[in-house]
Structure 1
Amino acid sequence: MITPDRNAIVDTLRTAALIGICVVNLPYMALPASQTLTQAPTGPDQFAAIVTAVFFEAKFFILFSFLFGWGMQIQYCAAERAGADASRRHWRRMIMLAVFGVLHAVLVFSGDILLLYSLVGSLIWHLRRASPKRLLGFALGMIALSLLCLFLISLVIALSPTAPADPTPGLSGGYLDTIRARAAAWPETFVFLILFQGPLAASAFLAGLAAAKLDMLDPQATRWRRRCAIALPALVLIGLPLNIAYALVASGPGLGWGQIADLLGFLSIAVGGPVLTLAYICAIRLLIDLFKLPSILVLAGRNSLSSYVLQGVLAGLVFSGYGLGLFGQFGQAWLVPISIALALTAMVMVGLFARLMGRGPLEILLRRVTYGGRPASPFKACR
C-alpha cells in the first residue's frame, strides 16, 4: 500500500481543504463583524457570499476533519507497528494541538479550529477500535446532534433581532489592538464553533476513521472508484439543493416561503454540508489520474498545519493596521480571489520551507512532541 505521504488522493484533498477554508475564513479577518454577520448589501458581494455558502462554507472544514480522522487511524497503526504507546502519542498530539489552537486564536485568528479538533480528537480516540459500521453509525448520530445545535443557534438569532454589534474594531489597529480584539471575541466565537462545527467535525472524524479502515483513499482500491462513480450523481443531486437553500437563508434574502421554510433551509446544512463534501471526495477520487499537483503544493498539503496557520498570519499582514491596513476595504466579491491567492501564497511558502527542512515548522515541533524525537513508521494497513 502507498504511504500516506505519497498518496495523491490525500495530498489533493488536503490542498483543496486549505484553499476552501481560506475562502470561508478570510472575510472574518478582513471585514467588520457588522458586514460578515449580515446580508451583503450589493449585488456582486451578495452573490459572492451566496456562492461561498453554497460551495465552500461547512464543506471544507468537514473535509479537513475527515482527513484528520483518517490520519488518526494512520498514526494509531504506526504506533502499533513500532511497539510504542499509541495513547501516549495521541494525547501528546492533542495537547500540542490545543496549545497551538489557543495561541492561534489569540495571536492570529479567533475562529481557530485547532482547539476544537483537539477536543473532538480526544473524544473520538476512545472509538478507535470500533468497526467501520459502528463508526458510521456514530457519525450519523453526530449529524442528528448538529441539527439540534443549529436549531439552538437559530433560536438565539431569532431572540436577538437587532443588528450585531461589531466586537472586533481592533482588527484594523496595531498588533496589540488585534490581540485584545481577538481575546475579547474568542469566547463567544468558540461557543459558536462548538455548536456549528463541533458535531459536524465529530461526524467527519468518525467517517474518516472508518474510511481509513476501509481503505477508501487507497489509490489501488479500485472498488472505491466504482462506488464513487455510482454515488457521485446522487450526492450532487441531494447536496446541491440543500446547500443552495442554506445559502439563501444564511447569506441571501431567504427562501421567500416564510419563517418555517427559512428555518428548515438553515438546518439543511447539517445534511447538505456532509453530502456535498462526500461528493468532493468522490470527484477527486475519480479525477485524480487526470491531473497532478505541483510538487510545492503537495509538500504544503502534507504540512497542512503550518499552511493553515500561515494563511491567518498573511491575512493579518495584509488587512490589519500593523500591516497594509486594508481592513474593511474590500467586499465579499473581491475577497474570494484574494483568499485563493493568499492560500496559494501560504502553501508555496510552506512548501519551500518543507523542501529545505523536510517538514513545515509547526509539523517539526508537533512530531517531535508526539513521537518523542523518534520518527513514525511507514504506513501499513491495520484495523
Structure 2
Amino acid sequence: MGEYTEVATPRLITLDALRGFAVMGILAMNIVAFAMPEMAYITPRAYAGETPSDLAAWALGFILFDGKMRGLFSILFGASMLLIIDRAEASGRDPASVHYRRMAWLAVFGFCHYAFIWWGDILFLYAAVGCVAFRFRDWEARRLIIWAIGLFTLGVAIMTMAFGAQLAAVRAADTASSSTELVEAGRAIRAEYASMNEGVATELALYRGGYLPILAERLDKADSPLIMLVMNFLETLPLMMIGMALFRNGFLTGAWSRADYRRVARHWLPPGLLLTLLVTWVQWRSGFDNLVAINAFLAWAAPGRLMMTIGYAALFVLLIQRYASGTGMARVAAAGRMAFSNYIGTSIVMTSIFYGYGLGLFGSVDRMTLYLFVIGGAAAMLLWSKPWLDRFLYGPLEWLWRSLARRSLQPMRRTA
C-alpha cells in the first residue's frame, strides 16, 4: 500500500446522532425476534397475541417502529458510505479499494453474527448491497432519488404480485365455482402457512436449550443470509441510494432550514402513518391470518414505512439541531459513532438474556414487558458509549473493522 496523508475532518453530529437514534430504535422491533419464535415478529397470532396488552404492544411496534428504524439505518449506511468514499478520495486513496475491503470484512462480520450470535443479522445484507450502491456514488441527488423511488416501487410490485397471488389463490379456492386444480393449490398454500405456527414449539425447545444445537441449526441454514439478500435487495438498495442523495443535498448533515425539515415531516409522516394504520386494520380484520400478515409485512406496509422513515428523519434532525449542544445529545451521538459495536453488543446481551445458555427467558416474557428490555438496552448504549469514546478513538468493533480493512492496526487510545 502506498502512503497517504489522512485528512482531518470534523465529526458530523447530525449523522452521528441520527445513527444513535436508529441503533436504539431498531431494538424496539428486534426485541421480539430476540425473545420469541420468528413468526411472532410478523403476527401476534403465531405467539403471544392472546391478551389486549399483547395486541396493543404488537400494534405499537408495527405502527411506530417496524421497518422504520431499519429503514433509517439503511439510509444512514448509504450516507456514511458516501462520506467515507469522499474522505478516501480527499486523502489520496483509491475509493474503490477502500470501499470493497470494508464491505468484504463487513460481510464476514455479518455472517459470523448470523452463525454464532443471532439469526436476524443485517450486516451481510448491507455489505452485499453496499457493493452495488458504490456504482451510484457519482450520481447527483435528484437522479439518485428518482431511481431509488423507481426501484423501491418495483420491489413493492414484485412482492405484491408474488404473495398476493398466493392470497388470491386461497380466496379463490373457497368459492364454489373454482376448478379442482385451483382448490387443491389454494389448500396447499393454506396448509403451508398454517404449518408456520406448528414450528413455534420446535423453536421454543431449540432456543430454550444449549448453544451447540442452536449453532448447528444456523449452520444447517447457512444460505439464510443469501435468502435475506434476495428478499430485501429492492428495499435496501433504494434506501441506501436515498441516503446517498440526502447526504449530497445536505438533508442528513443538518444543512437545511428548520422550516424545510418541518415541511418534510408534515409532507411525509401523516400519509405514511395513515397507510400504516390501514394495513394494521387489515391484519386485525383478518384475524391476523398468516398469509395476510406476510403480505402486509413484505408488500403492503412498505410505502407507509418509507414515508414514515423520511418523516422520522426530518423530526430527528429538528431534535438534534435544537439540543445539539446538550449532554444528552452528545451521548446519543456517541452511541451512533459506536453503532456497529452497539448493534452486535445488543445481540450478545439479548441472546444471553433470552436463550437457554443464558437466563433462558425465551418465550416467557409478554410483548409489553419486552419494552422494558428495550429501554434498558438503549440506556446501556447511552451510558457506556460516551465514556468509552472519551478514552478511545473508536468503538471496539469499529476499530477492528477499520484495522482489518486497512490491513494494519489503527491507533486506538486517545492521546492528551
TM-score, with length taken from structure 1: 0.87
**Separation in 1, partners of 2:93, 2:409:** 10
Residue 399 (structure 2) aligns with: 364
Residue 20 (structure 1) aligns with: 25
Cα offsets for 1:259-290 (capped at 9, x unmatched): 99996897332211111011011112222233
**Separation in 1, partners of 2:32, 2:229:** 16
Structure 2 unaligned segments of length 5 or more: list them: 1-7, 171-188, 412-416
Residue 214 (structure 1) aligns with: 249
Q: Structure 2 matches for 1:214-293, cutoff 5 A?
A: 214-219=249-254, 221-223=255-257, 225-249=258-282, 252-254=284-286, 267-291=299-323, 292=326, 293=328
Report how far residue 184 of structure 1 moved.
4.2
Over 3 Å counting, the alpha-carbon distance change for 1:155 and 1:162 in structure 2 is: farther
Residue identity matched to 2:355: S
**Separation in 2, partners of 1:265, 1:320:** 26
Residue 355 (structure 1) aligns with: 390
**Separation in 1, partners of 2:16, 2:259:** 21
Q: Is 1:339–2:368 an aligned residue pair?
A: no
Report how far residue 359 of structure 1 moved.
1.1
Residue 139 (structure 1) aligns with: 148
Structure 1 unaligned segments of length 5 or more: list them: 377-383
**Separation in 2, partners of 1:52, 1:260:** 18
Conserved? CA contact 2:42–2:297, under 8 Å: no
Conserved? CA contact 1:97–1:118, under 8 Å: yes
SS at match of 1:112: coil
Counterpart among 82, 85, 106 of residue 73 in structure 1: 82
TM-score, with length taken from structure 2: 0.80
Report how far residue 155 of structure 1 moved.
4.8
**Separation in 2, partners of 1:254, 1:8:** 44
Conserved? CA contact 1:58–1:273, under 8 Å: yes
Residue 301 (structure 1) aligns with: 336
**Separation in 2, partners of 1:210, 1:147:** 21
Over 3 Å counting, the alpha-carbon distance change for 1:70 and 1:179 in structure 2 is: same
Residue identity matched to 2:278: A
**Separation in 2, partners of 1:173, 1:102:** 22
Q: Structure 2 matches for 1:147-158, cutoff 5 A?
A: 147-151=156-160, 152-155=162-165
What's the % identity of the aligned pairs? 26
Residue 191 (structure 1) aligns with: 227
Counterpart among 88, 94, 100 of residue 91 in structure 1: 100
Residue identity matched to 2:82: Q
Residue 171 (structure 1) aligns with: 207
How many pairs align?
368
Cα offsets for 1:335-357 (capped at 9, x unmatched): 12212312332453444433333
Conserved? CA contact 1:246–1:267, under 8 Å: no
Which stretch has the larger CA shift, 26-35 or 238-247? 26-35
Residue 178 (structure 2) aligns with: none
Report how far residue 44 of structure 1 moved.
0.6
Residue 6 (structure 1) aligns with: 11
Which stretch has the larger CA shift, 67-76 or 347-356? 347-356
Report how far residue 304 of structure 1 moved.
0.6
Conserved? CA contact 1:45–1:331, under 8 Å: yes
Residue identity matched to 1:72: M
Residue identity matched to 2:194: T
SS at match of 1:323: coil
Residue 193 (structure 2) aligns with: 161
Residue identity matched to 1:13: L
Over 3 Å counting, the alpha-carbon distance change for 1:210 and 1:43 in structure 2 is: same
Report how far residue 77 of structure 1 moved.
0.9
Residue 414 (structure 2) aligns with: none
**Separation in 2, partners of 1:269, 1:87:** 35
Report how far residue 93 of structure 1 moved.
0.4
Over 3 Å counting, the alpha-carbon distance change for 1:262 and 1:338 in structure 2 is: closer
Structure with larger Rg: 2
SS at match of 1:41: coil
Instruction: Compute the RMSD of aligned alpha carbons.
Output: 2.8
Conserved? CA contact 1:61–1:201, under 8 Å: no
Over 3 Å counting, the alpha-carbon distance change for 1:260 and 1:322 in structure 2 is: closer
**Separation in 1, partners of 2:339, 2:400:** 14
Conserved? CA contact 1:23–1:52, under 8 Å: yes
**Separation in 2, partners of 1:155, 1:16:** 37
Residue 112 (structure 2) aligns with: 103
SS at match of 1:179: helix
Over 3 Å counting, the alpha-carbon distance change for 1:148 and 1:187 in structure 2 is: farther
Residue 57 (structure 1) aligns with: 66
**Separation in 2, partners of 1:43, 1:62:** 28
Residue identity matched to 2:218: R
Counterpart among 305, 311, 324 of residue 346 in structure 2: 311
